[in-house]
Structure 1
Amino acid sequence: MTNGAPPPPAPKRSRARTFLPPALAVWLVLEIWLLTIVAGAAGGLTVFGLLVGGAVLGTVVIKRAGRRAFKNLTETFQQAQAAAQAGVAPTAAERAGAGDRNGFLMLGGLLLMIPGLISDAAGLLLLVPPVRSFLGRYADRVAERRMNAAPPGSLQDAFQQARMRRPDGKVVQGEVIREDAPQGPQRPQDPRPPLTP
C-alpha cells in the first residue's frame, strides 16, 4: 500500500563508519606482525614481559587518572559552592578544571593495557604532558568549530544556545515561545472518563 511517493534517501554514511573497520583490521594485523618480529628477535619471554608490563603500567595510570579526576571534581564542586555563596561566577579556568587532561591520560592507560606494541607506544606518548595538552587544545578547537557550524535546530545548536552567558559570566535566563502553539489558557483534556460508582 504505497502512495507512489519515492522512498526517503538513505542517510549518508559517516567517514568514521567507512574507515574505522578497515583501520582496525590493519592495526590488528600490524600488532600481530610486530609481536612476531619482536618474538623472533628477542624471544617469546621478552614479548610476554612487555605485554604484562604494559598492562600493569596501564592499570596504574588509569587508577591515578581516576583519582585525579575525582579530586578535581570535588574541588570544582567546592569552588562552585563557594562562588555561589559569595555571589560570583567561577572563572573559565575553574570551570574547565585548570587545563587538566585526565581523559587523554586515561586513554593512554587504556592503550597501555591493550596487548600490542603499537598501542603501547601510543599509550606512552599520551603520558607525556605536552602531547596531552596539545591534543586537548586541538580537541577543544575541533569541538568549538563543530558547535559554531551546527545547523539551526540541531542538538548541537541547542547546546550552544544553552551555554550562552553574559560577559560578566552570568547565565542568560530565557523562555522558549512556540509561534505555532495556540494562544490563551487551555486546559488539557483528560483522555480517561471519570470514575462512577
Structure 2
Amino acid sequence: MTTGTSPPTAPRRSRARTLVPLAVAAWAVLEIWLLTVVANAAGGFTVLLLLVAGIVFGAAVMKRAGRRAFRNLTETLQRMPGQPGTAAAPQAASPGTEGNGFLMLGGLLLMIPGVISDVAGLLLLVPPVRSMLGRYTERSLERRMRAAGPGSLSDAFQQARIHRPDGKIVQGEVIREDGAQPRSRADEGPRPPLTP
C-alpha cells in the first residue's frame, strides 16, 4: 500500500562542492602536463631547477610579507590611544605597506610546484595587480555585507550581548528574574567583583 508521499530526498549539493574538486583535479592534471612539456623541451634538470627556484623565491616573498605585516601590526598597536608616546593625530599607513595578504598568496603560489601557479604568483607580485585585486575584493566584500540580512554574521556581535529589561547592555553580568543569589560551593572563597 502506498501513501502517496514521496520519499525524503537528500539535500542537494551546492554548486561549489561539486565544481571545486573538479577544478582542482583539472588544475593538477594541467600542471603535470605543462611540466612534462617543459621537461621535453628544456630537459628534466631545468624543470628541477625551476621548481627549486620557485620554492626558494616563494619562501623569501612570504617571509618578507610576514615581516612587513608584523611591523605594521606593531606600529598600529603602538599608535593606539593611551599608549605612552602616542602622537596626537593618527598617522596614515606608509605607502607600499598594504597588500601583504596578496604578497603572501603570491609566495605560496610560487612555492606550489607548477607552471600555472608560478605565473599566478608572479602576477601577484606586481603592485598594480595587487592594488586592483584589493579594490575588487573590498568592493565585493562591502556589497555582500550590505546584502546580508538580519540573523547573518554581520548581526552576530549585536546578538551576543546581554540585554537588561530596561534595554541597557551589560557585559558579563548575570541577572536572575527571581532575585535569588547564586549558591557558592564550600570550597570556594568569596569572589572578587567584576570590573570593566
TM above 0.5: yes
CA deviation digits over 1:54-92, x for unaligned, max 9? 00100100000010001000111112246898797858x
Q: Out of 96, 104, 107, which is 1:106 matched to?
A: 104
The amino acid of 2:20's aligned partner reads: L
Note the 1:37-186 alignment, pairs <5 A: 37-81=37-81, 90=90, 100-158=98-156, 176=163, 186=179
Give the Cα–Cα distance (whole angstroms) in 2 for the partners of residues 153 and 178 of structure 1: 21
Q: Report the CA distance between 1:155 and its aligned residue.
A: 2.0
2: CA distance, partners of 1:66 / 1:100: 12
Q: Kindly provide the amino acid, as one letter, of the partner of residue 142 in structure 1.
A: S
Contact 1:39/1:47 (CA < 8 Å) preserved in 2? Answer: yes
Question: Which string of whole-angstrom CA distances, capped at 9 and with x for unpartnered residues, describes residues 114-171 of structure 1?
Answer: 0111100000000001111111111111111111111202222335x69xxxxxxxxx
The answer for unaligned runs of 5 or more in structure 2 is: 1-5, 167-174, 188-196
Which letter does structure 2 place at the counterpart of 1:41? A
Name the structure 1 match of 2:22: 22
Q: Is the CA contact (8 Å cut-off) linking 1:83 and 1:89 kept in structure 2?
A: no
Q: Which amino acid aligns with 1:140?
A: E
User: Once the 2 structures are TM-superposed, how far is the Cα of residue 15 of structure 1 from its aligned partner?
Assistant: 3.5
- Match of 1:80, SS state, is coil
In 2, the alpha carbon distance for the partners of 1:142 and 1:126 equals: 19
- What CA distance in whole angstroms lies between the structure 1 residues aligned with 2:12 and 2:88? 46
Identity percentage of aligned residues: 60
Shift >4 Å, 4+ stretches: 6-12, 82-91, 182-185, 188-192
Pick the structure with greater CA Rg.
2
Alpha-carbon distance in 1 for matches of 2:80, 2:139:
25
CA distance in 2: counterparts of 1:125 and 1:189, whole angstroms:
61
Say whether residues 1:187 and 2:180 are aligned partners: yes
Q: Counterpart of 2:109 in structure 1: which amino acid?
A: L
Q: CA deviation at 1:189?
A: 5.8
Q: In the superposition, relative to structure 1, how do residues 187 and 15 fare at CA in structure 2: closer, same or farther (>3 Å)?
A: farther
Measured at CA, do residues 9 and 123 of structure 1 come closer, stay the same or move farther in structure 2, by a change above 3 Å?
A: same
SS in 1 for 2:145: helix
Give TM-score scaled by structure 2 length: 0.71
Structure 1: gaps spanning 5 or more residues? 1-5, 163-173
Query: How does 1:4-23 map onto structure 2 within 5 Å?
Result: 13-23=13-23
Contact 1:83 1:90 in 2 (8 A): no
Per the alignment, residue 165 of structure 1 pairs with none
